[in-house]
Chains A and B, each alone.
Chain A
Amino acid sequence: MDSLIAANIRQRPVRTAISMIGVALGVILIVLTVGLARGLMRDFAERQQNIDAEIKFLPGGSISLSANPLSLPVQFADAIMNGVQQSADDPEVVPKPPIEGIEAISPVGEWVHGGAGGLGFEIIDGIDFPSFTKVASVDIVKGRGLKAGEPYEAIVDGYYAERNKVDVGSEINVLEHKFTVVGIYEPAVMSRVKIPLPTMQDLMGGANDCSHLMIKLKKGANIDRVKAELERYYPGHHVILTKDLPALYSHSIVAVEVFLNAVIGLAVVISTLVILLAMYTTIMERTREIGILKSLGASKRFIVASIEKEAILISALGVALGFIAAVAARYAIVSSTKLVIDLRPEWLLISGLIGIVAGALGALYPAISAAKLDAVEALSYE
């Protein structure tokens, strides 16, 4: 029967090719979508974790882990560090003590814009360079850091510089303005491009506001106490430990998982339908051959198995085609955009299994229909 399967596949090259492409599309859809989602999340989480600061202080409301608008007054940094006292200018203010154990606080602005070529997105940090270097151990490996009084300067990390062929002195577009790259830093921390916070505030209209504060504690300070005091004296704000960021990302990944499951479902439907249509058409064409098999004494199980084997073989070829196309597409996308796509063996395996199972599933109805054909009618089929 194996030779009959191989002969059928060879005999109908167009049908075989279309079926393979259908399965391959499903595999590509899964591999690239999952790889893109996982890659971006992993990359962003890793860069968030590289910061030395132990606490991220955000305004109230919903937390967006990808980017936040400028809605937190920068003065919170001073208030947290030095406390708040009533004064003649502001007699209504509720006094707050300085939070003990804090070594440095740096305000950070975050802004998202579309990636190169309209694919993906890019996050820009607006930083106060002197205070930022106290909460993040970044080394300027080439050029210099951001200098006060130079609004249209930017620093980028080594990965960005390499991928975008950017060097010190190059110009990049941020917020529809040209910025000159003055330094390249390592390691990658938070976003890959950093501009002065005052410039971001000017361009976004958020004067004196930031997106969040990064808080670094003194050596030996009790992190839980500091967190508790921040929550006590600044209710309505979010106090997140940076060590918890991966877990928080995991929670935000739940929504991504739903999306990925939808993509997987779509891929299964595509592969199943393509194989179902291809095999159903084939069975119609081969009605007489099914009759011959029955006259030779082939059981229903034998007929179902032979059609399923053919579908699985076509699906396996489609999966192989899908792997090759996905790897090539990943290379092309990663080379021409700033997107990160994780291509992990386990996801290749899973997408391959999904492709083959979908193919087997799609062939089931045609196979059972073929097995149920009346032998005499099938033999007289023209």
Chain B
Amino acid sequence: MKKKLSVLLAVVLLVAAALAGCSGGGGGNDVEDEDVIKIGSVSPTTGPVATFGQSVLDATKLAFEEINAKGGVLGGKKLLLLNEDNQSKGEETGAAFRKLIEQEKVVAILGSVTTGDSLIGAPIAQEAKIPMLTPTSTAPAVTEVGDYIFRACFLDNYQSEAMATFAVEELNAKTAAIIKQSDSDYSVGLAEFFAKTFEAAGGKIVAEESYLESDIDFSAILTNVKAAKPDVIFLPAYYDTVGPIMQQARAAGIEAKFLGVDGMDSSELFSLAQGAEEGAYFSNHYSPAADVELVQHFLKAYEEKYGKTPDALAALAYDAAYIMAQAIDEAGSTEPQAIRDALANISYTGVSGNVTFDENRNPVKPIWVNVIKDGKYEVAKVVEP
């Protein structure tokens, strides 16, 4: 009898607690709606590109904390970041965008990280007329989805053109070799634009070699490159293949200067290239060596909070978060339509320089050419748009 009673009591208590929890939560939401502005983000913190997603999410959180500490937006409203981990999977990405828009009722979305994921999310955001700003998806197709889709990073062809021009004008290069990763659209596209610009500027492509992401032995293609005696070697790919290529190229006795792109930016490059990275030039979205107060503040704050140096993805995400906050402020409301219009007309100065958007909602901003000297980045040139 006693046992039955205690069970009954426990059930009653549980139900009461659950009800209280519900109403409490609901009540909290109602209050929240008045004071906070919900911004969604879709960053994969697990799965194949987890490191990219984590960088983006960390930097976005940092920016939001700073903005909220300074008093938020629209005269005192706080920004609330709701991240969905899409694992960089197609079906998860679609669900994440729908959940943010339909259930969480966010006013804007930051994300996603990769081009493939953003291409899945963009039509959903466009249809719901929720402004979306991807910090890092570089393919032109993303912003072509519609007038609510923006990006914070420059398009791939800009950096190829900048590097080709840089090679001809600053390094006096007459001949170049290109070593591209043929199973990556990113790499193939960059290689194509580089060749076009380099040849238009009077240079000559003396060797063009291909490899696959899974390749580890590059000695055969490097022997071909060596025979072609190029002044510079363009390596449009990520650090995980660029590092070993540089190392094996120097071991094979190739003396040409290396040119890279934003994918090269990683602290892992130094251990993979084993010293061969010294003197390499690469284009990036920002430079940690830039003598700009905002950049140095960002570096310091990020390092203090996360204990590591931010990569370019983090810099872009940090800028994207600030751009979104400024757009909401300038819109004067949380109406998605007003935010979109404010974004389209924004002029923002961030870690990556002065940013405005062109009519295709792509950013107009400088490209930073970094050079690696004594294991550190230095600014070699800032290419203004």
The reply to whether chain A is a binding partner of chain B is no
